[in-house]
């Protein structure tokens, strides 16, 4: 969910434009001559809900107001290793250049908060951060890869429109091309950009994925929604690494989601201890947000928890071979980072847990030492560096 990291006008994945749908684009005039655009807009909302989207809106694609913020963010280097964020420059704010002929975007959101779970899920998730035996994996990544789920559903929505009006020009995206998803979604009234840079909605919080269909049909655009963060700064104050520098300004290089997913090298040592037991992504800013008491549960089984990822044993995960990693995580977004980064992240988490357990839980501390030492001699240099750091956290000597 890359756009979660982008500042005001930015779980974060590499672009996969080859996977997007890009059919031939017909003459727009031939599409809209006999179409009741307002009726079509109303119908596609209904079709979208039937496909698992909880909200569908229509956005104008003029994002010129977002260009300055994007370019300043890139100039400051806040995108870190995510070179693809800079590859297209201001084109990210110009959907009509990405897909010529585009005049509107159908913006959609799909909730991912697992259907099964405690009622006070935010309190439950925050409590898990204090359990040194378990690894914390971002809620969005506990089920199937959202790229595939949303892209398939958006494609079905486009096909339903085509059935109703005939061929039209469109292209489907979900975190898979140089598109400013949050800017488009907020422009279409799906919510407003919160101070943590995520999209927020009064009726749905922020626990949802975003997807778009760029179209050449001049559907009536929806109005924007006014922001409702007020003076609240809970998302800023809770960030473990201080990645949210100020409202709407996020330094991805300090963000745990970036460090555990996008960053390919060694995790900077000063940021390892603040990571705690977060081994893939970070939900802290969303857990602190008051609007997430209204977060919707997922309606699709795709986002049900797999692999026991609601409370996985960290030492057990560290013992997975590469073959086990690939087999167990088939269809999971986590598989994208590869086994080496997975072990790197877990080594940091184990080190932080060892620091706690060595003075409070001798049995757990010994399990962690054993797990780390068992892999050290065969580890890659990157992983070994983090294992050695983890073993050095042992305060029992």
Largest pairwise CA distance in the chain = 78
DSSP-derived secondary structure for 237-252:
HH-TT--EEETTEE-G
Q: Which of 20, 54, 145, 175 is catalytic?
A: 175
Residue 134: its pLDDT value, please?
A: 97
The CA–CA distances, whole Å, from 389 to 270, 358, 367 equal: 12, 15, 17
Contact present, 194 and 7 (Cβ < 8 Å)? no
Domain extents for the chain?
A: 37-116+143-215, 233-292+305-392
Crossing angle for the helix pair 381-391 and 362-376, to the nearest 10 degrees: 150
- Determine how many CB atoms are found less than 10 A away from the CB of residue 305: 17
**Is 214 one of the annotated binding-site residues?**
no
Residue 293: its pLDDT value, please?
A: 95
**Is 239 one of the annotated binding-site residues?**
yes
Residue 386: its pLDDT value, please?
A: 98
Residue 10: its pLDDT value, please?
A: 34
Residue 18: its pLDDT value, please?
A: 35
Residue 27: its pLDDT value, please?
A: 54
Which residue, among 158, 174, 195, 128, has the nearest Cα to 19 in the 3D structure? 174
Assigned token pair, 379: 């580890």
**Is 206 one of the annotated binding-site residues?**
no
- Could you tell me the fold of the domain covering 37-116+143-215? NADH Oxidase (3.40.109)
Distance from CA of residue 392 to its chain's centroid? 32
With 0-12 / 13-18 / 19 or more C-beta atoms within 10 angstroms meaning exposed / middle / buried, residue 38 is: exposed
Residue 12: its pLDDT value, please?
A: 34
Q: Report helix, strand or coil for 58.
A: strand
**Is 257 one of the annotated binding-site residues?**
yes
**Is 195 one of the annotated binding-site residues?**
no
Residue 2: its pLDDT value, please?
A: 37
Backbone phi and psi for residue 137, each to the nearest 5 degrees, phi listed first: -115, 135
- Does 388 participate in catalysis according to the annotation? no
Cα angle 152, 157, 159; round to 5: 95
**Is 316 one of the annotated binding-site residues?**
no
Residue 397: its pLDDT value, please?
A: 64
Contact present, 157 and 57 (Cβ < 8 Å)? no
**Is 372 one of the annotated binding-site residues?**
no
pLDDT in tens, the chain (397 residues): 434 443 333 333 333 333 344 554 555 544 555 689 999 999 999 999 999 999 999 999 999 888 889 889 999 999 998 887 877 777 788 888 889 999 999 999 999 999 988 899 999 999 999 999 999 999 999 999 999 999 999 999 999 999 999 999 999 998 877 889 999 999 999 999 999 999 999 999 999 999 999 999 999 999 999 999 999 999 999 999 999 999 999 999 999 999 999 999 999 999 999 999 999 999 999 999 999 999 999 999 999 999 999 999 999 999 999 999 999 999 999 999 999 999 999 999 999 999 999 999 999 999 999 999 999 999 999 999 999 999 999 987 6
- In the numeric block, the tokens 């003076």 are attached to 231
The CA–CA distances, whole Å, from 23 to 58, 162, 209, 211, 310 equal: 20, 11, 24, 17, 39
Assigned token pair, 383: 């992983």
- Give pTM, 2 decimals: 0.90
**Is 157 one of the annotated binding-site residues?**
no
**Is 199 one of the annotated binding-site residues?**
yes
């Amino acid at each position: 969910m890359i756009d979660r990291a982008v500042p005001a006008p930015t779980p974060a994945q590499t672009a996969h434009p080859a996977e997007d749908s890009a059919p031939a684009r017909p003459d727009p005039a031939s599409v809209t001559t006999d179409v009741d655009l307002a009726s079509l807009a109303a119908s596609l909302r209904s079709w979208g809900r039937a496909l698992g989207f909880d909200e569908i809106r229509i956005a104008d694609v003029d994002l010129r107001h977002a260009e300055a913020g994007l370019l300043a963010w890139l100039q400051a280097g806040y995108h870190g290793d995510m070179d693809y964020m800079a590859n297209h420059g201001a084109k990210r704010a110009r959907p009509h250049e990405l897909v010529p002929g585009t005049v509107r975007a159908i913006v959609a959101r799909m909730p991912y908060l697992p259907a099964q779970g405690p009622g006070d899920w935010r309190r439950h998730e925050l409590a898990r951060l204090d359990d040194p035996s378990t690894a914390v994996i971002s809620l969005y990544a506990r089920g199937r890869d959202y790229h595939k789920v949303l892209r398939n559903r958006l494609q079905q929505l486009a096909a339903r429109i085509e059935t109703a009006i005939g061929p039209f020009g469109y292209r489907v995206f979900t975190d898979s091309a140089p598109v400013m998803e949050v800017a488009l979604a907020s422009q279409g009234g799906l919510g407003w950009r919160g101070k943590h840079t995520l999209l927020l909605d009064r009726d749905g919080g922020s626990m949802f994925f975003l997807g778009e269909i760029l179209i050449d049909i001049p559907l009536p655009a929806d109005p924007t929604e006014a922001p409702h963060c007020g003076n609240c700064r809970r998302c800023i104050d809770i960030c473990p690494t201080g990645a949210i520098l100020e409202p709407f300004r996020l330094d991805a290089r300090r963000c745990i989601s970036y460090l555990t997913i996008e960053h390919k090298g060694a995790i900077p040592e000063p940021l390892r201890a603040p990571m705690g037991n977060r081994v893939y992504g970070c939900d802290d800013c969303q857990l602190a947000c008051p609007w997430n008491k209204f977060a919707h549960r997922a309606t699709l089984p795709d986002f049900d928890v797999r692999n026991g990822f609601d409370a996985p044993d960290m030492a057990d995960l560290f013992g997975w071979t590469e073959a086990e990693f690939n087999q167990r995580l088939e269809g999971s977004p986590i598989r994208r980072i590869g086994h080496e980064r997975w072990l790197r992240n877990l080594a940091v988490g184990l080190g932080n847990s060892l620091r706690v357990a060595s003075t409070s839980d001798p049995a757990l501390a010994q399990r962690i030492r054993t797990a780390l030492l068992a892999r050290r001699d065969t580890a890659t240099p990157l992983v070994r560096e983090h294992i050695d750091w983890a073993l050095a956290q042992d305060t029992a000597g």
